[in-house]
Structure 1
Amino acid sequence: MTAKGPNRRQSQLNIERQSAMIRAEKGIDKAGYMSGNKKASITINDHSIHFYQEGLGDPILFVHGALADARMWEDHCKILSREFKVTAFTQRHFGNPGYSSKDPFGIDTHAHDLVGLIEGLAIDPVHLVGWSYGADVSLSAAIKAPHLFKSLYLYEPEDPGYLNSEVREKYHSKAKVIFTDVYKAVADNQLDIAVKKLIDSLGKRADYFSQQSLKYRIQQLDNAHTLSPQLNQTEQPAINANKLSKILIPTSVVCGSETHQMFKIVAYSAATLIPNSHLLEVDSANHMLPREEPARFCQLVKESIHQKFCINSE
């Protein structure tokens, strides 16, 4: 990428100012991070991973997507901890505003960390819930270590690695609608603009970013520094049609009825390839469902687990 416009440092300062202004306006302390949940850390693959745990019962592990960290699952943890032992964690590179690292960034690296986290916390087998990029990481981890997982709940995975050539061409044409302006803003080191453009596009509304809950705007700006490494990752994840066809873990592949076609293409393909899978299209939902409606999303996750394991839902 050739940098144009503001330099990277200036772009980061713009983001930090915006985030600070939002916090100051609402009287929020940056340290107030998933209040009520105990924060802890564990070293996995020579990297410190922060996580939160709450509740008792079968373990559920949440895997966040782009421009996010463990904080996005705060409401979900409170809801599902009434029945399950829930864990939310922040993936490497995320959750630390302005943090720059030479560590590798990619689905394989994050999947390797995920496997290590589950083993390190001794919470296997887990019900794994992944959203967007987190669903891709979840799939990769399931391929690497299937014995660690009791079920998979994949909301709108996005990696095209298992699409055939014809479908992949359609996928890329649809992806341009979402990412063309985002790539340009990142290339120009205008990360604050890139964040807004991506979130507006995913939410399918021009003012979606500014109309979100305050806490989500803060989280997205805090993770703006991850956009460039994520959009330019060079790792080649071992997620292909053959690997998916060998996944025997009970799996739900889920997408919203109002989401971008790019995500529907991937979801339908994944559900077709994974033998023991169930495809669900959620009415009146888009890519941002987990953030827009935590209670509804949790109910969907809970119903999926209950149906797979014949548990009577209360």
Structure 2
Amino acid sequence: MRALKILSVAALVLGCQSTPTPIARTWELPAGVKAVQVNGYEMAYVEQGSGVPVIFVHGAAVDYRYFSAQMEPFSGKYRTIAVSLRRYYPEPWRGDGEFSLNQHVDDLMEFIKQLNAGPVHLVGHSRGGTVALYAASKNPGMVRTLTFAEGGAGMAAFSPEDPALVQRRAVAMPAITERLKAGQTDAGLEIFIDYVSGPGAWKALPEAIKSSLRANAWTLTAGEKDTASWPPLSCGEVKRLAMPVLLLEGERTPGTFKAILDSVQVCLPRATREVVKNSSHGTPRANPQGFNAAVMAFIAAH
């Protein structure tokens, strides 16, 4: 009877689990961009080269184009892939409908399954690092190595305890949301970029990068709201990751991300940590040579 009750409860739980609402693609894919159906969504990506896959996962307010400086160097040895997560460019999203890190994790795992190419080298930057860490924790057999490049913001178990760092985020994120809702996109993005990379970082960006950020601006507001729905990921769970992990940071990165890396590092059994010189948070674009050299050396060693 007890076993029957357990089975009944399990069936009820499974029956109550929601499935993502299918999203029919109404937007055009840019030239050279591919898409694969994952969980009712056409996930856009670019790829170049052949061999063991290396998959790049972008952070907040950017998309697959963020890794344009990685595609050519990595494709000489690997099947190099950069994805755009659900709700990011080329989807022209303006904040309506669902936005979920949990869904991004499920989409990424389904994407890897559809490659049918064995375990992959997974490289996640910023919020993409968080997505990659969750994906590796849920299905470690899919991941050959993990590069965690300044991810983890919003993860309760690894959030910085320094009151000054906590206050910086508490001030920045609501201000970003307020500007976006008021239609002041550039003003909101300036707060965000200066928060993650230091004062004056927005003004120093090339116009092409600013344009990419504008196309994904609403993911900032949605991502901040979504943080409360993330499942807990404890130090104990991270300790069970057996794959090699590279922790990557920019030399001039503000303290928040360094504090998160410190917290994550003590929980990883096979962690390597590297610093990308002459770079703040946006290491793949600020110093692509340094970023590429660190990641390629790490991958080659495993």
Q: TM bucket by the smaller chain?
A: 0.7 to 0.9
Farther off after superposition, 121-130 or 167-176:
167-176
The reply on whether 1:116 has 2:110 as its aligned counterpart is: yes
Equivalence for 2:60: 66
The reply on whether 1:224 has 2:233 as its aligned counterpart is: no
| RMSD, aligned α-carbons | 2.3
Aligned-residue offset at 1:103? 4.7
Amino-acid identity (%)? 22
Which structure has more relative contact order (CA 8 Å, sep 6+)? It is: 1
* Regions of 4+ moved over 6 Å: none
Aligned-residue offset at 1:255? 1.4
Aligned-residue offset at 1:40? 1.0
Farther off after superposition, 292-301 or 43-52:
292-301
Equivalence for 2:290: 296
Say if 1:140 and 1:238, in contact at 8 Å, map to a contact too: no
Farther off after superposition, 112-121 or 224-233:
224-233
Equivalence for 2:155: 160
Aligned-residue offset at 1:239? 1.9
Alignment of 1:200-215 (within 5 A): 200-206=194-200, 208-215=201-208
Query: Out of 85, 89, 101, which is 1:95 matched to?
Result: 89
CA, structure 1 residues 102+201, in 2 after alignment: closer, same or farther (shift >3 Å)?
closer
Query: Which deviations, in whole Å up to 9, do the C-alpha atoms of 1:1-45 show, x marking residues without a partner?
Result: xxxxxxxxxxxxxxxxxxxxxxxxxxxxxx895x7xx32111101
- Equivalent pairs counted in the alignment come to 273
Aligned-residue offset at 1:176? 3.6
**Structure 1 length-normalised TM:** 0.80
Aligned-residue offset at 1:196? 2.0
Say if 1:131 and 1:154, in contact at 8 Å, map to a contact too: yes
2:161 is paired with a residue of what secondary structure?
helix
Equivalence for 2:76: 82
In the aligned structure 2, how far is the partner of 1:144 from the partner of 1:237? 11
Equivalence for 2:22: none
Say if 2:157 and 2:232, in contact at 8 Å, map to a contact too: no
Aligned-residue offset at 1:205? 3.0
Aligned-residue offset at 1:78? 1.3
Say if 2:58 and 2:124, in contact at 8 Å, map to a contact too: yes
Aligned-residue offset at 1:243? 1.3
Query: Out of 54, 76, 99, which is 1:105 matched to?
Result: 99
2:87 is paired with a residue of what secondary structure?
coil
Alignment of 1:20-39 (within 5 A): 33=30, 38-39=32-33
Letter in 1 for 2:80: V
CA, structure 1 residues 191+98, in 2 after alignment: closer, same or farther (shift >3 Å)?
farther
The reply on whether 1:250 has 2:213 as its aligned counterpart is: no
Aligned-residue offset at 1:175? 2.5
Query: Which deviations, in whole Å up to 9, do the C-alpha atoms of 1:37-67 show, x marking residues without a partner?
Result: x321111011110111110222100000011
In the aligned structure 2, how far is the partner of 1:40 from the partner of 1:131? 21
